[in-house]
Amino acid sequence: MRTALDGDREPMHRVGQLGFAARSSAYDEEADRAGVPLDRRLVATDGGEIVGRLSVWELGQWFGGRRVPMGGVGGVAVDPAYRGRGVASALIRRALGQMRERGEVLSTLFPMNHTLYRRHGWEVAGSYPEHKLGLRALTALPRPARPTSTRRVEERDLPALRDLHEEVSRDEPGNLWHGPDFAARRLLGGKPVDQDAYVAERDGGLVGLVIVERGEAADDRGFFTLTIRQLVAVDLDAELTLLRLLGAFHPVAEVAELIAPHSFALSMLVGERDLRPAGWGWCWMSRLVDAPGAIAARGYDDSVDVEVHLALTDDTAPWNSGAHVLRVKDGQATLEPGGRGEVTLGVGQLASLYTGWANPRRLSRVGLVAGATDADLRALDRAFAGRTPWMRDFF
């Protein structure tokens, strides 16, 4: 196993295609360079041939209003001829060690294969709320109260767009903080020319962004469909401006797919069945890479004051294992080795609680948390409770 080098780009693409593609597509140098930087990619080799690969984006996630440094794992693939021999597991172990050294205290990924990641300490920890939206509904939206203009995105907008993305994401539990590479390469889609990307402007400042991709229309509904890659708006006027821009695609396009939680303004603006859950049903999985570091990094409700004695298990990252005391007070928390080790749970279960996804009482009922008293369960619930964690970006 080693860090990827420039000459590995094409062989890595080949292994990726063996892992994920119905039909191999040609290697695209520009697209590859828009991906994870080489020094954050690992390859497994046999006699000089690349047989496995894994990448880790430099990212963060917002929890309790604070940015938690996160390694975003992706592109894990092993040549079919080499599967079942622990290649992926070895890559994962190495990546975890590197994330720990870099201070990426949390790791999150979109799983194709839950078993592999669960075995290595990741657990389902948040949603990717895909919806189908009937574009006709947007044609009846009210005009924004303040005049807000739109124009096509330009390269020079990137710093302001990063700030905009951060402003709307920081209060949304689980939302991504774009690391420098991810923002530059992904926020504008890597290849902005292929996309419709528009900003909303007011008083000389950016107040919204929408990035749209066109796809084949199914069922004779319109000439094409829209996939909304980003929809961020600082307020209702900005959101209405962008939604009206999308509505203007109707009836050439009739249906759009977008990522938005039910709690968003959009669901309060459109009618029944205009906005419906859809898609692949993706969720994301997380694990704490450095459990004390992750616990210290997120924010907590100021009013919570609890102490729980945990017995944490982590076979893949043994530095997290053992008795720890969790203390939350004054909006901060610590996880210190020691204590009575009363509540037994795996690092994945702790990650699921940490993001606010899992309910400790349910985990206890199904045996995934053991030894907890009623008071422990209430304490864990209060420590991590919040709105459902979700992500608007995919990686």
Nearer to ligand COA, 16 or 261 (CB): 16
One-letter amino acid at 138 equals L
**Interface segment toward ligand COA; rule CB under 6 A; list 86-94, 173-181, 223-231, 312-320:** 86-94
d(CA 130, CA 78): 28
Does the footprint of ligand COA cover residue 116 (CB under 6 A)? yes
Shortest distance, CB of residue 14 to ligand COA, whole angstroms?
Answer: 12
Helices (H), the chain: 9-20, 29-33, 87-102, 114-119, 158-169, 180-182, 236-247, 291-297, 347-354, 360-365, 374-384
Q: Which is closer to ligand COA, CB of 128 or CB of 384?
A: 128
- CA–CA gap between residue 222 and residue 149 (Å, rounded): 27
Closest approach, Cβ 251 to ligand COA, in A, equals 37
- Selected binder of ligand COA within 33, 85, 191, 387 (CB under 6 A): 85
d(C-alpha 138, C-alpha 248), whole Å: 8
Taking the complex as a whole, the smallest distance from the CB of residue 184 to ligand COA amounts, in Å, to 24
Q: Give the binding-site size for ligand COA (rule: CB under 6 A).
A: 18
DSSP summary character for residue 222: B
If we measure between CA atoms, which residue out of 381, 350, 367, 383 comes closest to residue 107?
A: 350
Pick the binder of ligand COA from 113, 149, 263, 373 (CB under 6 A). 113
Structure token digits, residue 229:
């890659």
Nearest approach in angstroms of CB 129 to ligand COA is 20
Nearer to ligand COA, 171 or 315 (CB): 315
Are residues 69 and 106 in contact, defined by beta-carbon separation less than 8 angstroms? yes
**Is residue 115 close enough to count as binding ligand COA by CB under 6 A?**
yes
> 36 or 226, CB closer to ligand COA?
36
Binding piece for ligand COA, criterion CB under 6 A, among 105-113, 165-173, 298-306, 351-359:
105-113
Binding mask 315-334 for ligand COA (x = CB under 6 A): --------------------
Residue 392, helix vs strand vs coil: coil
Cβ of residue 22: shortest distance to ligand COA, in angstroms?
A: 12
Shortest distance (Å) from residue 55 CB to ligand COA: 10
CB 169 within 8 A of CB 392: yes
Task: Give yes or no for residue 83 binding ligand COA (CB under 6 A).
Answer: yes
Taking alpha carbons only, the member of 296, 233, 243 closest to residue 269 is 243
By CB under 6 A, tell whether 343 contacts ligand COA: no
Is 89 a residue that touches ligand COA (CB under 6 A)? yes
Query: Would you say 115 or 303 has its CB closer to ligand COA?
Result: 115
- Answer yes or no whether residue 119 interacts with ligand COA by CB under 6 A: yes
Shortest Cβ distance from residue 211 to ligand COA (Å)?
24
Q: Which of residues 42-81 bind ligand COA (CB under 6 A)?
A: 76-78
∠ CA 375-376-381 to the nearest 5 degrees?
100
DSSP labels, 282-331: -EEEEEESSHHHHHHHS---TT--EEEEEEEE-SSSGGG-EEEEEEEETT
**Count of beta carbons in the 10 Å neighbourhood of residue 53:** 26
Could you tell me if 78 and 52 are in contact, meaning their C-beta atoms sit under 8 angstroms apart? yes
Which of 12, 42, 43, 88 touches ligand COA (CB under 6 A)?
Answer: 88
Nearest residue to 292 (alpha-carbon basis) of 314, 264, 261, 266 = 314
Among 4, 8, 19, 70, contact with ligand COA (rule: CB under 6 A) = 19
Q: From 170, 203, 165, 202, select the one nearest 187 (Cα to Cα).
A: 165
Q: Which amino acid is it at 327?
A: R
Shortest distance, position 116 Cβ to ligand COA, whole Å: 4
Q: Which window, 111-119, 126-134, 305-313, 361-369, contacts ligand COA (CB under 6 A)?
A: 111-119
Q: Considering only 106-114, 219-227, 312-320, 339-347, which stretch makes contact with ligand COA by CB under 6 A?
A: 106-114
- Interaction site with ligand COA (CB under 6 A): 19-20, 76-78, 83-89, 111-113, 115-116, 119
